[in-house]
Amino acid sequence: MNKIRRVLAGPWTPPELGKMPYLWLLSLGFMGWKYAYVSPSLLEAALLALTLLVFVPLYFFGFWARGRQVGACIVASSLIGALWAPHNAGAASFFIFACAMCGGVSTTRRAVPIALAVLAFASLVSLRVDFMRMTFLLPVLTVGLPVAMSAIMDRRLHQSRAQLLRKQEEVEHFARIAERERISRDLHDLLGHSLSLIALKAELAGKLARRDMDACAREIADIETSARQALAEVRAAVTDVRQSGLAQALASARASLAAADVALTEQVERFPLAPAAEHVVALALREAVTNIVRHADARRCSLSLAQEGRVAVLRVADDGQLRSEEGLRRGNGLDGMRERVSAIGGRLALHVRGGLELELHVPNEVAN
């Protein structure tokens, strides 16, 4: 029931399929081919309308069905086709839809026999069709099997891609945990000894204050020196963490594109980046690569980072199927990226050049 409510509330099909499932419904128009020559009776017209009212929700539900629900959708579509076959050769469409629903079966080993069973059932049903038998059976056999194989392979491809994305997210999650642990260890190593030394010297200075002011002054001077040294070490550690932001983003981009089988052409200049600019560039790079891996279906990607005057310029381009900003609006941080860029006085632009190119300009305060 929850899945039925979700289908009714929308979206009616998985977002990654786009508008194609709605276009596939046009094949139901074959049911009306007969009536270009023969006027339907009132009863036949009413039954046809009722059939469409039942089948269309069943069709959309089939995209979300799992387990036995998929089998029920296949059986229901096949039965609708069998009932209409003696009266309308366009009923072949329902068997083709049943073949397409086989893509939702959990494993290929089960899906292929079910698709063949649908075709065998359609062949048996054709024995009851006294008129235009081949007009009914030929589309089922010539279209149904390729549609079934295509649906099964496409579903397996989506499953493999989803597994790849989950693995990538797990790797990134564990990498963040490891980085936090490394930073905490570094800070502990940096501050633990220094703060312990400061505490001991402060305790000693308190004792010396009552009997030897010169020694107390020396200990206080040592405390100041130790504190300044600890502060310098902490600042150096924080600087290292900031500087590793872009390097880590580049390494992550290489790994993600390699895992998605996307060839990378890289031209990255070495120049100092202000912490704010580096943070924005690193996040923009991560977002761009994520969009390429998840949405673009690209085979090649070019990445460049250069300093133009007092501006750092990042360009990320791909040869994928994502042709506009509208495709990026589905489940990404493009708006957040724009806000971060605007906050430091930069600008973000998208261009269609045989694919999609992201161009980021951020002011770099440390540029000479």
Q: What is the pLDDT of residues 229-272, one digit of tens each?
A: 777 767 766 655 554 568 878 887 887 787 677 899 999 988 88
pLDDT band (50, 70, 90) for residue 50? very high
Between the alpha carbon of residue 287 and those of residues 17, 284, 308, 332, the distances in Å are 22, 5, 23, 8
Q: Please, which residues have CB within 8 angstroms of residue 188's CB and are 6 or more apart in sequence?
A: none
Residue 336's Cα: distance from chain center in Å? 17
Task: Please give the DSSP secondary-structure letter assigned to residue 102.
Answer: G
Please give the average per-residue pLDDT across 334-346, as a whole number. Answer: 80
Cα–Cα distance, 264 to 281 (Å, whole number): 18
Cα–Cα distance, 101 to 343 (Å, whole number): 49
Rg (Cα) of the chain, in Å, rounded?
33
Sign, Cα dihedral of 154, 156, 162, 167: negative
The overall pTM is greater than 0.75: no
More confident residue, 234 or 306: 306
* pLDDT the model gives residue 322: 65
Q: Percent of the chain having pLDDT more than 70?
A: 84
* pLDDT the model gives residue 302: 92
Q: Percent of the chain having pLDDT more than 90?
A: 8
* pLDDT the model gives residue 189: 57
Q: Please, which residues have CB within 8 angstroms of residue 81's CB and are 6 or more apart in sequence?
A: 91, 92, 93, 94, 95, 98, 122, 125
pLDDT at 282 over 80: yes
Between the alpha carbon of residue 149 and those of residues 13, 142, 155, 164, 331, the distances in Å are 20, 12, 10, 22, 30
Domains in the chain, ordered, with CATH?
2-161 (no CATH), 260-368 (3.30.565.10)
pLDDT at 313 over 90: yes
